[in-house]
Amino acid sequence: MSGTALDTKTLIKAYERMLFLRVAQQELVKLYMEKKIFSMVHFYIGQEAVAVGVCDALQLSDKVLGNHRSHGHYLAKGGSFRRLVCELLGRSNGSAHGKGGSMHMIDKSVNFIGSTPLLGSVAPIAAGVAFEQKYNGRNAITAAFYGDGASEEGVVYETYNLAALYKLPLLLVIENNRFSINSKLKDRRSARYNLKTIVEGFGLRYERADGNDYHDVHSKAQALVQEIRAKKEPAVLECMTYRHMAHSTPLTEESYRDEDTLEHRLKNDSLKRISNQLIEHGISEKKLSAIEDSTRASILKDIGFALTSPFPVKRALYTDMYV
Ligand SMILES: Cc1ncc(C[n+]2csc(CCOP(=O)(O)OP(=O)(O)O)c2C)c(N)n1
């Protein structure tokens, strides 16, 4: 952990935000199992400290982009759960009018610019967004989230090069959950692969955080964001984390894991960690479960709204098109 200790009020707020992402995902899993979600879904359970820790270091005017696993990024940037669940259920008041699904989260009102499932493609797009911010003299930065698998795509290395050359206000957040689908880091990279050396070699700053620890992610993200804003120089923040569920479906497949067993993941779980910290701060378990109950109630209300919302009309097929 780094940075000065967090006060109780800040910890509770972080807990509430992370818990919202967790409970929202748990309820979405149920909808998925009931076959109410048509699109492919990649759940974010386990990685909440990354999205919340980073987005808590940003301002509303900063822009965020994500990947195929972006429910958490979207919500952490202030996106509406009601619009998210409507989108997943294919309803017309979804964030992309029910036509994008889970992998195409977008909400320009909170500067969540979009998520793109083509691995690695988010990096150059985010660099373009950051270029506009610098070119037009805005005091804002862009953050992009992508996984360790995506970080191996060639276009990401090209982005490092141009981002450093043009000194872009860009924060690239790598969520290293150790897998690209079921493929392990050691089966994809030489034992001598060193991301810090690579990133710094291109001329960007590099930091590594414990992605299961809100405080560590947040304090490192905050320090980088301040530097990026002041100096207009890009940085990479690599967050080591775990996804609790399978890549997508079947949701609970565990056979490809070795050291990151279910027991190990639960022991290191970000929400468990922050609730233990709150208990150390004198917050009772009763208070924590009351927060969980009211969080779930608000989520269920939005799901109820979504389930009774209309599907897009046929002529909506011809809107929001580039042709
Ligand atoms: C260019 C490209 N190649 C392959 C895929 C198929 N694919 C989708 S997700 C995924 C694994 C992604 O792993 P990572 O980037 O680490 O993110 P995670 O799923 O672990 O969050 C792959 C190979 C894709 N979407 N795009």
pLDDT tens-digit series, residues 230-269? 999 999 999 999 999 999 977 888 889 988 888 999 999 9
| Ligand 1 atom closest to 177 (CA) | 20
Report CA(126)–ligand 1 centroid distance (Å): 18
Report CA(117)–ligand 1 centroid distance (Å): 8
- State the chain's mean pLDDT as an integer: 95
- Sorted by where each starts, the structural domains of the chain and their CATH numbers stand as 8-309 (3.40.50.970)
Q: Is 119 in the pocket of ligand 1 (CB under 6 A)?
A: yes
Q: Is 317 in the pocket of ligand 1 (CB under 6 A)?
A: no
Q: Exposed (0-12), middle (13-18) or buried (19+): which is 281, by Cβ within 10 Å?
A: middle
Residues 216, 264, 221: CA angle, nearest 5 degrees: 15
Q: Are 253 and 46 in contact (CB under 8 A)?
A: no
d(CA 45, CA 76) in angstroms, rounded, equals 13
What average pLDDT score do residues 141-149 get?
Answer: 98
Which of left, alpha, beta for 282 (phi over 0: left; psi -120 to 50: alpha)? left
Give tens-digit pLDDT for 267-287. Answer: 999 999 999 999 999 999 999
Q: What pLDDT does 252 receive? A: 84
Q: Is 71 in the pocket of ligand 1 (CB under 6 A)?
A: no
Q: Is 278 in the pocket of ligand 1 (CB under 6 A)?
A: no
Residue nearest to atom 1 of ligand 1 (CA): 119
Q: Is 239 in the pocket of ligand 1 (CB under 6 A)?
A: no
Q: Is 72 in the pocket of ligand 1 (CB under 6 A)?
A: no
Letter string b/e over residues 175-186, b meaning 16 or more CB atoms within 10 A of that residue's CB: bbbbbbeeeeee
